[in-house]
Amino acid sequence: MVVIWNILIRKTVAVAVPNVEIGMTYGTVLGFGVCRETSDPKIVRIKFIDSWDEMETINPPLSTGVWRPPLGNVPRKSIHFDACEGSVTIDGVVYWLATERVMTHAGGNYYILIVSFDTTSEEFGEVYLPDSLAHLDDYNLSISKLRNRVVILEQHRDEKGYGVWMMQDGVSVASFFIDSFVRIFTINSPDASVKGFRKTGEPIIELVEDGHRPLVVYDPYSTNVIFLENDVDGSSFCAYPYVETLLLHDQPDFTIYDNGKATLSEERVREAFEAYM
């Protein structure tokens, strides 16, 4: 079940998600955005075969209360998603990190890219990363959002710290973007985990210091830190900006949509919400 929570008006609406696959063979990723033309919230679900031997994106339905296929194209079957990675949404476009495997005479090769989904046109697109990121073996990449732009966090496994790359306007060719990222700064902080960004641009970082995990705001230029919490108890979390909206104002609180049928159940919605939080 997906729970959509409007923090401003304290209202929740839930959507039952059928056929969620979680395991070694199959996986499921979700995305959420709001159509720019109709202001309708939309959820997109992508089921895929989670195997390097047989990579295949198999089912990208959409939901606005009833699950249905998208109006536009679908991702190529050679694209592999990571069910553990999240997504970011900017102006109604959802972005995921993904991997594409390319078969050659010498065997299989792969590169990392971003797959996008426009909730207005319902078209999937692709964003190419610079070669220095797309073919990394010794780095971990994650996706985030800074000043209403997509950013990629480049974490080296040996050298503690992050490189922060921001997506620019770039050069578009059909549904592709080419060489559209630039490194904006580096976070040279040992034993750090970036959780998100402030609206002013500073990263919010969880540190590891003498058994404690303080949460701080880090200035990448002066390297000064501002402590927000002394210890976050090792909890797993991320920080996301939000825009105040009246979305869901016309919906009864605790509505559950299941294949087009709407019911009210505060208990079921709260259970789903608390399981995530």
- Binning pLDDT at 50, 70 and 90, where does residue 255 land? confident
Is the pLDDT higher at 68 or at 211? Answer: 68
pLDDT at residue 276, rounded to an integer: 61
* Residues β-bridged to residue 128: 113
User: Would 149 be classed as within a structural domain?
Assistant: yes
* 105-164: pLDDT as tens digits: 555 578 899 999 999 999 999 888 888 888 876 568 889 999 888 999 988 766 667 889
How much is the pLDDT for 174? 47
Q: What is the mean pLDDT of residues 246-258?
A: 88
Confidence of residue 55 (pLDDT cuts 50, 70, 90): low
Is residue 116 included in any domain, yes or no? yes
Name, in order, each residue with C-beta under 8 angstroms of 188's C-beta and a sequence gap of 6 or more.
161, 223
Please report whether residue 277 resides in a domain: no
Task: For residues 16 and 20, give the distance between their C-alpha atoms in angstroms, rounded to a whole number.
Answer: 10
- Residue 241: name the closest of 119, 149, 167, 163 by CA: 149
Q: Which of 29, 2, 12, 6 is nearest to 264 (CA)?
A: 12
- d(CA 36, CA 115) in angstroms, rounded, equals 19
Would you say residue 171 has pLDDT above 50?
Answer: no
pLDDT at 185 over 50: yes
Q: Where are the alpha helices (DSSP H) in 29-112?
A: none
Least confident of 139-143, 168-172, 211-215, 261-265: 168-172
197-237 tens-digit pLDDT = 988 889 998 887 777 788 889 888 888 888 887 766 656 67
Domain interval for residue 120: 2-272
Mean pLDDT of 239-246: 82
d(CA 175, CA 125): 5
| Res 50: pLDDT | 67
Indicate if the pLDDT at residue 2 is higher than 70: yes
For residue 155, the model assigns a pLDDT of: 82
pLDDT at 165: 92
What was the pLDDT predicted at 9? 92
Establish if 120 belongs to a structural domain: yes
pTM of whole model > 0.95? no
Q: What is the mean pLDDT of the chain?
A: 81
For the stretch 78-118, pLDDT in tens is 888 877 778 999 999 999 999 887 765 555 578 899 999 99
Cα separation, 248 vs 64, in Å, equals: 12
Residue 120 is predicted with a pLDDT of: 93
* Chain centre distance of CA 146: 13
How many domains, the chain? 1
The answer to whether residue 57 is domain-embedded is yes
Contacts of 273 (CB under 8 A, 6+ apart): 3, 5, 12
What number is the average pLDDT over the span 31-52?
85
